[in-house]
Amino acid sequence: MTFAQRLQRLVATRESQIVLGLDPDPARLWAQAHERVAAAGPPAQRAASAVRAHCAAMIDAAGPACVAVKPQLACFERLGADGWAALAATVEHAHEAGLLVIADGKRGDIDVSAAAYAQALVGHTPTPFGDVPGLGADAFTANPLLGVDTLTPLVDGARSADAAIFVLVRTSNPGAADVEDLELHDGERVWERLARIVAQLAGPGDGLSEIAAVVGATAPEHVARMRELMPRSPFLLPGIGAQGGRVEDLAPAFAVGRAGGLISASRSIARAHESAGGSPADAARAEAERLRAMAWSLG
Amino acid sequence: MTFAQRLQRLVATRESQIVLGLDPDPARLWAQAHERVAAAGPPAQRAASAVRAHCAAMIDAAGPACVAVKPQLACFERLGADGWAALAATVEHAHEAGLLVIADGKRGDIDVSAAAYAQALVGHTPTPFGDVPGLGADAFTANPLLGVDTLTPLVDGARSADAAIFVLVRTSNPGAADVEDLELHDGERVWERLARIVAQLAGPGDGLSEIAAVVGATAPEHVARMRELMPRSPFLLPGIGAQGGRVEDLAPAFAVGRAGGLISASRSIARAHESAGGSPADAARAEAERLRAMAWSLG
Over residues A183-220, the pLDDT tens digits come to 999 999 999 999 999 999 999 988 999 999 999 877 77
Check A78 against B179: CB less than 8 A apart. no
- Dist. CA A77–CA B293, nearest whole Å: 38
Whether B215 contacts B237, CB under 8 Å: yes
Give A256's pLDDT tier (boundaries 50, 70, 90): confident
- Dist. CA B86–CA B76, nearest whole Å: 7
Check A171 against B34: CB less than 8 A apart. no
- Dist. CA B224–CA B232, nearest whole Å: 13
The pLDDT of residue A94 is 98
ipTM higher than threshold 0.95: yes
- Dist. CA B171–CA B176, nearest whole Å: 6
Catalytic site residue B106? yes
Interface probe, candidates B109, B121, B193, B215, chain A, greatest A C-beta count within 10 A: B109
Check B43 against A171: CB less than 8 A apart. no
- Dist. CA A8–CA B251, nearest whole Å: 55
Which residue of B lies nearest to A146 if distances are taken between CA atoms? B176
Which residue of B lies nearest to A44 if distances are taken between CA atoms? B132
Please list every residue in chain B whose beta carbon sits closer than 8 Å to the beta carbon of residue A128.
26-27, 34, 47, 50
Q: Is the pLDDT of residue B250 over 90?
A: no
Check A106 against B109: CB less than 8 A apart. yes
Nearest CB partner across the interface for A43, out of B129, B148, B180: B129
Which residue of B lies nearest to A38 if distances are taken between CA atoms? B129
Check B106 against A108: CB less than 8 A apart. yes
pLDDT, tens only, B57-76: 999 999 999 999 999 999 99
| pLDDT, greater one: A74 or A256 | A74
Catalytic residue among B78, B95, B106, B159: B106
Check B25 against A112: CB less than 8 A apart. yes
The pLDDT of residue A242 is 65
The pLDDT of residue B216 is 86
Interface probe, candidates A22, A91, A106, chain B, greatest B C-beta count within 10 A: A106
Q: Is the pLDDT of residue B242 over 70?
A: no
A98: left (phi over 0), alpha (psi -120 to 50) or beta: left
Chain B closest-CA separation from residue A224 CA (Å): 21
Nearest CB partner across the interface for A193, out of B74, B110, B182: B182
What is the mean pLDDT of the segment spanning A123-141? 98
Nearest CB partner across the interface for A75, out of B25, B80, B116: B116
What is the mean pLDDT of the segment spanning A83-103? 98
| pLDDT, greater one: A193 or B254 | A193
Check B134 against A34: CB less than 8 A apart. no
Please list every residue in chain A whose beta carbon sits closer than 8 Å to the beta carbon of residue B241.
none
Check B174 against A149: CB less than 8 A apart. yes
The CATH number of whichever domain residue A156 belongs to comes to 3.20.20.70
Q: Is the pLDDT of residue B281 over 80?
A: yes
What is the mean pLDDT of the segment spanning A135-151? 98
Q: Is the pLDDT of residue A245 over 90?
A: no
What is the mean pLDDT of the segment spanning B91-111? 97
Whether B120 contacts B139, CB under 8 Å: no
Report helix, strand or coil for A206: coil
pLDDT, chain A, mean: 95
Chain A closest-CA separation from residue B124 CA (Å): 7
Nearest CB partner across the interface for A147, out of B72, B178, B184: B178
Nearest CB partner across the interface for A178, out of B82, B147, B172: B147
With 0-12 / 13-18 / 19 or more C-beta atoms within 10 angstroms meaning exposed / middle / buried, residue B13 is: exposed
Which residue of A lies nearest to B49 if distances are taken between CA atoms? A129
- Give CA torsion, residues B42, B47, B52, B55, to 10 deg: 180
Range of the structural domain that residue B48 is part of: 3-296
Please list every residue in chain A whose beta carbon sits closer than 8 Å to the beta carbon of residue B79.
125, 132
Q: Is the pLDDT of residue B299 over 70?
A: no
- Dist. CA B208–CA B7, nearest whole Å: 10
- Dist. CA A39–CA B168, nearest whole Å: 43
- Dist. CA B151–CA B194, nearest whole Å: 11
- Number of structural domains (chain B) is 1
Q: Is the pLDDT of residue A292 over 80?
A: yes
β partners of residue A245? A240
- Dist. CA A181–CA A193, nearest whole Å: 10
CA dihedral over B33, B38, B44, B45, signed as positive or negative? negative
Interface probe, candidates B111, B154, B179, chain A, greatest A C-beta count within 10 A: B179
Give A299's pLDDT tier (boundaries 50, 70, 90): low
Whether A21 contacts A63, CB under 8 Å: no
Strands B18-22 and B164-170, sheet pairing: unpaired
Q: Is the pLDDT of residue B254 over 90?
A: no
pLDDT, chain B, mean: 95
- Dist. CA B58–CA B60, nearest whole Å: 6
β partners of residue B213? B167, B235
Chain A closest-CA separation from residue B295 CA (Å): 24
Please list every residue in chain A whose beta carbon sits closer than 8 Å to the beta carbon of residue B126.
26-27
Nearest CB partner across the interface for B127, out of A43, A120, A185: A43
Please list every residue in chain A whose beta carbon sits closer than 8 Å to the beta carbon of residue B47.
125, 127-130, 132
Check A146 against B175: CB less than 8 A apart. yes
The pLDDT of residue B275 is 93
Interface probe, candidates B51, B70, B84, B197, chain A, greatest A C-beta count within 10 A: B84
Most confident of B33-37, B50-54, B239-243: B50-54
| Residue B225: other Cβ atoms inside 10 A | 17
Q: CA triplet A192, A184, B169: central angle to 5 degrees?
A: 90
Q: Count of H helices and E strands in chain B? A: 12, 10
- At a CB cut-off of 8 Å and minimum separation 6, what does B293 contact? none
Q: Which helix H or strand E contains B18, and what residues bound it?
A: strand B18-22
- Dist. CA B75–CA A117, nearest whole Å: 8
Q: Is the pLDDT of residue B110 over 80?
A: yes
Q: Which of A51, A207, A61, A72 is nearest to A137 (CA)?
A: A72
The pLDDT of residue B243 is 67
